[in-house]
Amino acid sequence: MRDFKKLCNWDEIVQSLQYLTEEICNLPFKSNLATFGKFKEKKPTFDFSDSTNQYSIFVSGVFYRTNSIEDRPNFLLKKLVFHHIFHYCVYTILSGQSLLILSKQSFNEAISLAERMQIFIPFFQPQHSRIDLNIDLSECFKYSLSVAQETYGKSDIQISILDLDNKIYIGEGCPKNSFVQKKMGKGSDQSERVFLLLQHHQLKTISNQFLTKLAEYQKKEKFTFEKMMFEMAQIGFSKDDFPILNYLIHSYFNQQKCRPILMNNNISRTGKIIAPFY
């Protein structure tokens, strides 16, 4: 069998697909993506956006949120990959901890960045985030994501802070054996919207693997935590991912309007990280 890539102009096809991805948000039918999209997942599944597992709604939302983002390269989520800030933020959010994005000089850009980070919040609901000019640090515990210009209250509250004005991140790191460190953040050489789509795809792939393994456990009469983590390691998870997996399960069964708060997940796995980025 001959290689398919040699039978066609593969590079040209790739460029055309990338161009379509970039320009589709400017086409007149872009608003119909969510209306006519038919693909929708059925439970059990983990959702990482406000699209209620309907992929077409998620895609149209990404196009809307990134329509003019490329004009402000200093506030691209993909730029945070180079300083590992991206991995710190994603691990914080996925494990059920709280992230505060702080900026007085670029408040609107901070809000935009938070909107793009919402795809990392399991079963995201609007009440899982907060935007305010001034925020009490102790209030941030209630939310996965907060955005503010200034803060007040106790400064020893254990939350992660992404300070856009001072270009510094202070908070939870990302353990080196976590799948976040190993698998997330790829595609940073692409546009912001393509980068977001790649992250969402990776999250769905990883979470589906986790769900499949959970289904296998239901058929077994006895299994220990050690045995479970051993089998999880076979599909790419480590003990560093336990806070994330624990939060995913609690989020799935959560029936409250507020997000689940797991105090054990707020115990740092890496110690406080202080990381500048430019």
pLDDT at residue 214 tops 50: yes
E-state strands within the chain: 99-102, 129-136, 145-152, 160-163, 168-171, 273-276
Q: Is the dihedral of CA 22, 28, 34, 39 positive or negative?
A: negative
Q: Is residue 158 part of a domain?
A: yes
pLDDT reported for residue 30: 46
Q: Supply the pLDDT for residue 29.
A: 46
User: Span 35-61, mean pLDDT?
Assistant: 59
pTM above 0.85, yes or no: no
Q: Is 241 a domain residue? A: yes
The total domain count for the chain is 1
On the question of pLDDT at 33 being above 50, the answer is no
The parent domain of residue 107 ranges over: 48-277
In this prediction, residue 165 carries a pLDDT of: 94
Q: What does the pLDDT read at residue 90?
A: 96
> Across all residues in the chain, what is the average pLDDT?
79
pLDDT at residue number 236 = 83
Structural domain contains residue 134: yes
Amino acid 86: pLDDT: 95
Residue 29 lies in a domain: no
Q: Would you state the torsion angle of the CA atoms of residues 102, 108, 110, 116, taken in this order, to the nearest 10 degrees? A: 150
Question: For 125-156, how does the pLDDT look when each residue is reduced to its tens digit (9 = 90+)?
Answer: 888 899 999 999 988 888 999 999 999 987 77
Question: What is the C-alpha separation between 265 and 268, in angstroms, rounded?
Answer: 8
If you average pLDDT over each of 1-15, 16-30, 83-97, 145-159, which comes out highest?
A: 83-97
Question: Residue 53: inside a domain, yes or no?
Answer: yes
Whether 10 maps to a domain, the answer reads: no
Is 106 a domain residue?
yes
Handedness of CA 108, 111, 113, 119 (dihedral sign): negative
Residue 106 has pLDDT above 80, yes or no: yes
Q: Give 221 or 87, the one with higher predicted confidence.
A: 87
* Residue 25 falls inside a structural domain: no
> pLDDT tens digits, residue range 174-202?
999 999 999 999 988 888 888 888 898 89
